[in-house]
Amino acid sequence: MTTSLDLNVSMPELTRTLLDIYSVSGEEKTIADAVYKALSAYPHLYLTRDGDAIIARTEFGPRNGEERTRILLAGHLDTVPLPTVEGSLGTVPASIVEDNGDWILYGRGATDMKGGVAVQLKLAAELGEHDTDYNLTYVFYDHEEVASELSGMARLIRNHGELLTDADFGVLLEPTDGTIEGGCNGTMRFYLRTAGLAAHSGRAWKGENAIHKLAGALRVLEDYEPQTYEVEGLAYREGLNAVQVSGGVAGNVIPDAAALHINYRFAPNKTLDEAKAHVTELFDGYELDFVDLSPAARPGLDTPLAASLIAAVGQEPKPKYGWTDVARLSEIGIPAVNFGPGDALLAHTDNEHVSFSALTRCYTDLLFWLHTEVDED
């Protein structure tokens, strides 16, 4: 049975309905079915579905004799797994708590990012041909919270690129706590591997300890000073950290293999190849096995559309330190920013939540912007 979504209800009520749908990565079918069914009721939207990802486009004719600029609004439908700590509120189903005169919506995905998806759905339902100066592309996709090779956005770009690449500007509705966050840091993960020679620990001199051979790499990490780089007026902080260590067979065996799992977050002043070259030089002499390579994205704030959005929001833009799919949009030539309801620091937490006021404010800001005529000379 498909869950019904009423796109005419309030922002908080729509968000709560989305939160009540379990959609951990890999299990997005129910929410994708609900989104597709809801959007199908609006004849001004042309829908394309690919698995559990959906593209909804308007095809409005010229306005005042000129072709319309196209804006893309995107958000992912999946969430991370539910919290395991008993009593956690950031779970399914959602709950509502009053706090200092505001109402707070708790649930998995409240900030990351079903609040943003609710904003997209409301805008898609309400902005008809005579309500906006633009053509609009709404993208809802699966598998964002998992390995990049599973990404629903990447699959849409491969399979339906022509429905995306004609956008002039993009907004990814990831949580930004009421301000615009430009671009994003890139991220890469790799295993630094060492080899030794197994032996009985009582005769350790017969072997070579692979774990001990990690010491030099750990010293590099301990001594490393992450840099901050200014890109188009925004300061991006980098990070290079060990996130996992593995090795060893038993308590009486000298280990013959070990690995250090490292994550490098790099500023958008570097290409992916430059970032890869940087860590290869740092760990010269070690075997590096790269398992995730995701490019950074420049801020995308140097366009008239970005300037008009900044004016509509009324807050100074900030850098995005985490990686988001604005990088994928940037790769296909679409300047894009992050702007969505909720505090990103609450994403994935046991008590993930978003306020009613944050949901309404994000929706109102975007609605005002999309109603505003932009001078693109």
Q: How far apart are CA 216 and CA 224, in angstroms?
A: 12
Domain boundary, last residue among 294, 313, 338: 294
pLDDT tens for 172-217 read 999 999 899 999 999 999 999 999 999 999 999 999 999 999 999 9
267 domain-assigned = yes
Quote the DSSP letter at residue 79.
B
Q: Which of 28, 144, 181, 325 is catalytic?
A: 144
Q: How far apart are CA 219 and CA 223, in angstroms?
A: 6
CA distances to 44, 73, 138, 332, 350 from 168, rounded to whole Å, are 20, 11, 13, 11, 38
Domain boundary, last residue among 245, 265, 294: 294
CATH assignment of the domain containing 29: 3.40.630.10
Residues 145 and 283 placed together within one structural domain of the fold? no
Residues 218 and 191 placed together within one structural domain of the fold? yes
Question: By CB neighbour count within 10 A (0-12 exposed, 13-18 middle, 19+ buried), where does 243 fall?
Answer: exposed
Residues 55 and 148 placed together within one structural domain of the fold? yes
| Cβ partners under 8 Å of residue 222, min gap 6 | none
Q: Is 323 left (phi over 0), alpha (psi -120 to 50) or beta?
A: beta
Question: What's the predicted TM-score (pTM) here?
Answer: 0.89
C-alpha 117 chain-centroid distance: 12
Instruction: Give the domain range for residue 308.
Output: 11-184+297-371
Q: Which of 28, 33, 78, 238 is catalytic?
A: 78
CATH assignment of the domain containing 269: 3.30.70.360
Give catalytic status of residue 78 as yes or no: yes
Residues 179 and 43 placed together within one structural domain of the fold? yes
* pLDDT recorded at residue 374: 46
* pLDDT recorded at residue 300: 84
376 domain-assigned = no
pLDDT tens for 120-163 read 999 999 999 999 999 999 999 999 999 888 999 999 999 999 99
Establish how many alpha carbons lie within 13 A of residue 239's alpha carbon, considering only the half-sphere containing its beta carbon. Answer: 14
3 domain-assigned = no
pLDDT tens for 78-132 read 999 999 999 999 999 999 999 888 899 999 999 999 999 999 999 999 999 999 9
Q: How many domains does the chain have?
A: 2
Residues 128 and 270 placed together within one structural domain of the fold? no
Q: How confident is the model at residue 310 (pLDDT cuts 50, 70, 90)?
A: very high
Residues 105 and 173 placed together within one structural domain of the fold? yes
Residues 314 and 228 placed together within one structural domain of the fold? no
Domain boundary, last residue among 294, 319, 341: 294
Report the alpha-carbon angle 40-44-47, nearest 5. Answer: 45
Residues 166 and 237 placed together within one structural domain of the fold? no
User: Taking the alpha carbons of 162, 165, 167, 168 in that order, is the dihedral positive or negative?
Assistant: negative
**What mean pLDDT value characterizes the chain?**
95
Q: What tokens were used for 14?
A: 């729509």
pLDDT tens for 323-344 read 999 999 999 999 999 999 999 9
Residues 175 and 231 placed together within one structural domain of the fold? no
Q: How confident is the model at residue 377 (pLDDT cuts 50, 70, 90)?
A: very low
* pLDDT recorded at residue 163: 98
93 domain-assigned = yes
Give catalytic status of residue 144 as yes or no: yes
| Cβ partners under 8 Å of residue 89, min gap 6 | 95, 97, 106, 107, 350, 351, 352, 353
Residues 43 and 177 placed together within one structural domain of the fold? yes
Residue 2 has pLDDT above 90, yes or no: no
